[in-house]
Amino acid sequence: MGRGGHPMNALDVSDLSFAYGARQALREVSFSLAPGRFAALLGPNGAGKSTLIALLTRLYDLQTGDIRVGGHSLRDAPRPALKQLGVVFQQSTLDLDLNVEQNLRYHAALHGLSRRQTALRVDAELARQGLTERRRERVRELNGGHRRRVEIARALLHEPRLLLLDEASVGLDPASRLALNQHLRSLCREQGITVLWTTHLLDEVQPDDALMILHQGRLVACGQTDALSLEHGGDLSAAFARLTPSGAVQ
């Protein structure tokens, strides 16, 4: 809990800037995410989303500014900060030749969970993701939507406050993409997990989502989707086009 008994933010990004040599990729980006929110990070290709994800996951070291996950600074206390974070990357990192349960158990071991904790957490996440009946199936035999659910189960094993998904719907058919999006929203409502969903697809964003729009390394809009849409053009497509003049709407 934060001061005064108020829930602590799941994520605080403060004055974040990053450069690749002379090229500035992020410029003074700041935003916060409250617990239990579904938040969309939207931007055209080259906006800086990948750089932000790399900083959030410590693939890159911070240059300027700070990131706090569950109140812990990635700069000053990276280990407790990363314990609050679960990640699903765009490219799958599952072992295709292991079954679903084996993939989860291997990840639990990396997090240092005991044998008893692992058994309880694997059972709980398989049930939550609707995968209990598939626990003995090799990942290679699963479709794209079910593989993503395995990755979400794996990311939630250590009970993080924040689940980060980087273009997680890439490669899925429309029905699987919609089902995944809806499933993550139910996790926010029912489990109090905060989800940060990065995308370049406007139809993956809903009116009551928290929305951040990146363009050329700057955060050009931050707020609730319906309010931002009304302020900048009447609907999300018009607002996005106005805020990212060189970005292609999809």
- pLDDT digits 0-9 by tens, 136-172: 999 999 998 899 899 999 999 999 999 999 988 888 8
Phi, psi of 155 (to 5 degrees): -65, -25
Q: How many domains does the chain have?
A: 2
pTM of the entire predicted model: 0.87
pLDDT computed for residue 5 by the predictor: 42
Q: 65 is written with which tokens?
A: 């500014």
Asked which of 118, 143, 159 is the last residue of a domain, the reply is 159
Identify the domain boundary among 136, 159, 182.
159
Same-domain pairing of 116 and 240: no
166 and 218 part of one domain: yes
**Together in a domain, 214 and 126:** no
Asked whether the predicted pLDDT for residue 41 surpasses 90, the reply is: yes
**CA 62 to each of CA 35, 65, 69: distance values in angstroms, whole numbers, following the listed order:** 24, 7, 14
Residue 89 lies in a domain: no
With respect to residue 166, please indicate whether it lies within any of the assigned structural domains: yes
Q: What is the CATH number of the domain that holds 202?
A: 3.40.50.300
Q: Which of 105, 124, 159 is the last residue of a domain?
A: 159
Say if residue 170 is in the same domain as residue 222: yes
Residue pLDDT, tens place only, 29-39: 999 999 999 99
- Yes or no: say if 36 and 194 are a contact pair by the CB < 8 Å rule: yes
Per the structure, the complete domain to which residue 215 belongs is given by: 1-84+161-250
Cα–Cα distances in Å, from 141 out to 17, 99, 144? 42, 9, 10
C-alpha distances (whole Å) from 95 to each of 15, 114, 246 are 37, 22, 39
**Residue 93 and residue 121 in contact, taking contact as beta carbons nearer than 8 Å:** no
